[in-house]
Amino acid sequence: MRHIDRLTEPSILSKKKEEWTKKFIESGRERPDNSKYGHLEIHVLLGAMSFHKCFYCETMLKGTPKEIDHFIEVVENKELAFEWTNLYLACDNCNDKLPNRIIDTSDVLNPCRHTDEEIKTHLTFEDEVISSKNNSILGLRTIQKYKLDSGKLDYLRGIALKRFHQELIKIQQNQIQENGRSMNEQEREKLRQFTQRNQPYSLMFEILLEKYQI
Ligand SMILES: [Zn+2]
């Protein structure tokens, strides 16, 4: 999870949300119409905000199942069904989250509210395995709610980690061949690429690079 800056509300919502919300509440239905909150304009803007990654786990969403997620579930508050600040983008792993009655959204990290520094105070990684930092309850609840420790995410983070290690080993081999010189700026930059916000699992790599002091 990384902090995400929310862009301005798309015009389709400014124009339609009042009408859509009213109709949805009057209909008495449990779920809002996903063809409305899943409008292309909304999808595109959420994707632009997160560099096409899941808001919670940073999995790249291009070509994978992705869904628009209500941060506060509609069943808790129907008024928020078409509320821009309540719409997030999630992979199928994280969208299958634990309901609010089990873990409330007020007890978890929120990528649109918490800063990177705050997120890093509560979440950490040992290789591809995520854990709560310093026994943080907020970190633990976040992992539990979005299943950030699922086997699927471990597997995907493991693949990304392997690419990083291959790059690192290549650099280390060059260092050995060149009389054990230290890592140059260009090589550091290559590894730092993994921590860029548009990269998958960038928080994991940021923590890893801090550990390696790169
Ligand atoms: Zn996810």
Residues 82, 32: Cα–Cα separation, whole Å: 8
pTM for this one? 0.93
* Residue showing tokens 């790169």: 214
Residues 187, 119: Cα–Cα separation, whole Å: 27
Residue 203 CA, ligand 1 centroid: distance in Å: 13
Per-residue pLDDT at 35: 84
pLDDT digits (tens, 9 = 90+) for 146-194: 999 999 999 999 999 999 999 999 999 999 999 999 999 999 999 999 9
pLDDT digits (tens, 9 = 90+) for 51-77: 999 999 999 997 665 689 999 999 999
Residue 135, C-beta contacts closer than 8 angstroms, at least 6 positions apart: none
The mean pLDDT value for 198-205 works out to 98
Residue in 130, 131, 87 with CA at minimum distance from that of residue 112:
87
Residue 147 CA, ligand 1 centroid: distance in Å: 9
Per-residue pLDDT at 53: 96
Residue 18 CA, ligand 1 centroid: distance in Å: 29
Residues 5, 11: Cα–Cα separation, whole Å: 18
Residue 155 CA, ligand 1 centroid: distance in Å: 13
Residue in 76, 83, 77, 119 with CA at minimum distance from that of residue 99:
76
Exposed, middle or buried: residue 51 (CB in 10 Å: 0-12, 13-18, 19+)? middle
For residue 36, the Cα-to-chain-centroid distance in whole angstroms is 23
Alpha-carbon radius of gyration of the chain: 20
Residue 213 CA, ligand 1 centroid: distance in Å: 28
Backbone torsions φ then ψ of 197, nearest 5 degrees: -60, -25
Residue 211, C-beta contacts closer than 8 angstroms, at least 6 positions apart: none
Residues 51, 56: Cα–Cα separation, whole Å: 13
- Helices 151-177 and 185-192, packing angle to 10 deg: 170
pLDDT digits (tens, 9 = 90+) for 76-112: 999 999 999 999 999 999 999 999 999 999 999 999 9
